[in-house]
């Protein structure tokens, strides 16, 4: 009986200490997110791309297409590539054609390429990076004066479906080799 009473305070103290350590580690784990910034990249390491490693940096930067990264302490922790179009592509060939068309149309008008931002690849090297880059790019699109939609050209995988669904996107169509999710953009007025 006495042994049981002596152990109780020790166990409670150990539990309190473990909770403090866990809370501190979780705080440190996501601390990098607060100091991260979204930047436009001139290139990325395409071999790291788990979705479309076959697309080189020339493709990713041609005809109004862009590469964005989340940078923290001098390192890139997440990458997302976009094409600006006026139509929703069902595959990479259509993505190429539609972004090329939107780019040429913008050259004759107002220099604003496309109305739809098509995210065709995203990857993260650090926990929380994928969600962070989606959030930051989403803010950028909401504040743009010519983009009114954020749509993905995602592979037909459960991982892509779960990622986009967890981040608030709705499935809008399933294609032969891809699927399109849309993030609802409500403009700031």
DSSP the chain: -HHHHHHHHHHHHHHHHHHHHHHHHHHHHHHHHHH-EEEEES---GGG-SS-TTS-HHHHHSTT-EEEEEEETTEEEEEEEEEEESS--SSHHHHHHHHHHHHHHHHHTTS---SEEEEEEEEESSTTHHHHHHHHHHHHHHT-SS--EEEE-EES-HHHHHHHHHTT-EEEEE-SSEEEEEE------
Q: Is the pLDDT of residue 76 over 60?
A: yes
Q: Is the pLDDT of residue 1 over 70?
A: no
Q: Is the pLDDT of residue 189 over 80?
A: no
Q: Supply the pTM of this predicted model.
A: 0.76
More confident residue, 95 or 25: 95
pLDDT tens track for 89-132: 999 999 999 999 998 887 766 556 678 999 999 999 888 888 88
Q: Is the pLDDT of residue 8 over 80?
A: no
């Amino acid at each position: 009986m006495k042994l049981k009473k002596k152990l109780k305070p020790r166990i409670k103290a150990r539990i309190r200490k473990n909770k403090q350590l866990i809370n501190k580690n979780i705080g440190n784990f996501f601390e990098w997110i607060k100091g991260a910034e979204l930047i436009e990249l001139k290139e990325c390491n395409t071999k790291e791309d788990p979705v479309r490693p076959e697309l080189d940096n020339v493709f990713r930067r041609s005809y109004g297409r862009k590469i964005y990264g989340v940078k923290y302490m001098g390192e890139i922790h997440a990458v997302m590539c976009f094409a600006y179009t006026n139509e929703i592509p069902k595959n990479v060939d259509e993505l190429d054609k539609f972004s090329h068309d939107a780019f040429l149309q913008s050259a004759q008008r107002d220099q604003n390429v496309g109305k739809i931002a098509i995210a065709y690849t995203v990857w993260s090297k650090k926990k929380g990076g994928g969600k962070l880059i989606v959030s930051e790019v989403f803010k950028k699109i909401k504040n743009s004066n010519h983009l009114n939609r954020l749509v993905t050209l995602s592979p037909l995988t459960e991982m892509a479906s779960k990622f986009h669904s967890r981040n608030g996107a709705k499935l809008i169509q399933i294609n032969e080799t891809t699927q399109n999710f849309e993030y609802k953009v409500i403009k700031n007025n």
